[in-house]
Amino acid sequence: MNRPVRLAAAALGISVLARLAWVLLLPNGMNFVDLHVYVDGSAALGSGHLYEFTDNSRTPDFALPFTYPPFAALVFYPLHLFPFTFVAIVWLLATMAALFGVVWFALEFLVGKTALREPHWLTIALAWTAIGIWLEPMRMTLDYGQVNVFLVLLALLAVRSTKWWISGTLVGVAAGVKLTPAITGVYFAASRRWLAAVWSGVVFFGTIGLTYAISPDETRTYFGELLGDASRIGPVGSASNQSLRGALSRLLGHDVVSGPVWLAAVLAAAVLAVLAWRALAADDVLGRLLIVQLYGLLVSPISWSHHWIWLIPVMLWLVYGPLRAAAGARVLAGFWLLVTAVGVPWVLLNFQTSIWTISRPGPMAWLGTVYAAGALAFYLWVIRAGRASSALAADLSREPAPHPAG
């Protein structure tokens, strides 16, 4: 193992140990508010009270309900059989391991399997994992005990696989746990991977059928009454909600719900996403996947800052991807690194009077658009840089071959 690899491995080890110390030594280190909901809420599966469960022992401003599909409760159900401290530590370590998987497979899309075995790229993978642990989406995921990193990893593995049944199964299962990964099916459809797209839907509906067989009332409650109820998930206007709906609501001072302002923004983002997709080469799998995943984050009613794990692959793509030499690539990567290292939404949480208060001073409202505005700026940059790259490649292909000397 060469020296850069050892240094990167040491940095990652220090980051992991620091997070463990954070959890074990700080007074509120073991909060894991969402993991408590996963563990305690899923224990109610089959009782008829799964969606009546709430926990406000660590969040007095908002009693946290179980908000995921019943299939998620089935997946999480075994967790309540173990001591919570044990579950929390294993979950913490598994989450950081999953982040390494996210970084590794994102780089694999960019440089290929063979190159990734080189010490240089192993160093980069270890270093970015060490950095990623301290960026806001990952910090909040670790603090809350969230599931997002595992879902991002499943999406990457699904796209990586060339077997339609594996790809579709991974996405269908991920969507069964939490609906947002279903946007990966749009990537399959846009890439003309029709069997993977269809099979992901089949598997997703299979998860519904399975839980209906186990607990029909709770399955009907979720898909018949609760689906789409953003108020149940949390306060739309809180600075942590970095979706278009959250950003627009804070700018306008009221919840824009699914009204004309939100619809116009969703349509505008869709146009930019399509143009950005078309500006990228067909073999830029990660770039096109990121276009789709960012759109999913933008149009979801609530996209908490810890949902934006995809920003780590975005930074990798900007620094090491096919458009890395384009003007502005490093600037945009630096923007995302700075914003997530500081944790702008987290900082703003300390200045809002209440998580339920939507209206706020102008500077706070505009700063609160940072992820959504950054994603739209990313689309615009991709459109410009991708078209410029394509034009340059076309010009080079038209140049006549040099005549042999003499």
Beta bridge partners of 192: none
Pairing of strands 64-65, 54-55: antiparallel
Instruction: Please give the model's pTM, rounded to 2 decimal places.
Output: 0.94
Q: Tokens for 101?
A: 């998987």
Give the distance between the most distant pair of CA atoms in the chain. 88
Q: Percent helix, strand, coil in the chain (nearest 5)?
A: 70, 0, 25
Spatial separation of the C-alpha atoms in residues 382 and 287, rounded to whole Å? 9
pLDDT of residue 353: 86
Average pLDDT over residues 94-109: 98
Task: Give the single-character DSSP code of 188.
Answer: H
Please say if the pLDDT value at position 143 is more than 60: yes
User: Is pLDDT at 102 greater than 90 in this prediction?
Assistant: yes
| pLDDT of residue 405 exceeding 60 | no
Is residue 327 within 8 A of residue 120, CB to CB? The reply is: no
Give the pLDDT score at 393.
Answer: 60
The average pLDDT across 271-289 equals: 97
**Nearest to 302, CA basis, from 373, 229, 370:** 229
Q: What is the structure's pLDDT at 27?
A: 85
* Bridge partners for 64 per DSSP: 55
Cα-based angle 129, 131, 132 (whole degrees, multiple of 5): 60
* End-to-end alpha carbon distance in the chain: 51
Q: If pLDDT is split at 50, 70 and 90, which confidence band does 399 have?
A: low
Question: pLDDT tier at 203 (50, 70, 90 boundaries)?
Answer: very high
Region of poorest pLDDT, from 242-246, 308-312, 349-353: 349-353
What is the pLDDT averaged over residues 343-369?
Answer: 93
Q: What is the DSSP letter of 399?
A: S
pLDDT at res. 234: 82
Query: What is the rounded distance in angstroms from the CA atom of residue 246 to the CA atom of residue 240?
Result: 9
**Model pLDDT, residue 229:** 78
pLDDT score of 30: 87
Once rounded to an integer, what is the mean pLDDT over residues 316-344?
Answer: 97
Question: How far is residue 115 from each of residues 17, 125, 128, measured CA to CA in Å?
Answer: 29, 12, 17
b/e map 259-284, b = 16+ CB within 10 Å: eebbeebbeebeebbebbbebbeeeb
| Gap between the Cα atoms of 260 and 169, Å rounded | 36
User: Which pLDDT score, from 0 to 100, does residue 204 have?
Assistant: 98
pLDDT tens figures, 287-317 = 999 999 999 999 999 999 999 999 999 999 9
Instruction: State the average pLDDT over residues 238-261.
Output: 95
Which pLDDT band, with edges at 50, 70 and 90, does 209 fall under?
A: very high
- How would DSSP label each residue in 294-305? HHHHHHSS--BG
**Could you tell me how far CA 81 lies from the centroid of its own chain?**
29
For residues 337 and 331, the answer to whether their CB atoms sit within 8 Å is: no
Confidence of residue 398 (pLDDT cuts 50, 70, 90): low
Judged against a pLDDT cut of 50, whether residue 323 lies above it is answered with yes
Residue 134 DSSP one-character state: T
H or E element that contains 32 = none
Q: What is the pLDDT of residues 366-395, one digit of tens each?
A: 999 999 999 999 999 999 999 887 765 666
pLDDT digits 0-9 by tens, 257-270: 989 999 999 999 99
Least confident of 42-46, 55-59, 265-269, 326-330: 55-59
pLDDT score, position 117 = 87
Residue 406 clears pLDDT 50, i.e. is over it: no
- pLDDT tens per residue across span 160-199: 999 999 999 999 999 999 999 999 999 999 999 999 999 9
What is the average pLDDT value for the chain, to the nearest integer?
93
Cβ 357 vs Cβ 238: under 8 Å: no
pLDDT of residue 192: 97
**pLDDT grade for 10, boundaries at 50, 70 and 90:** very high
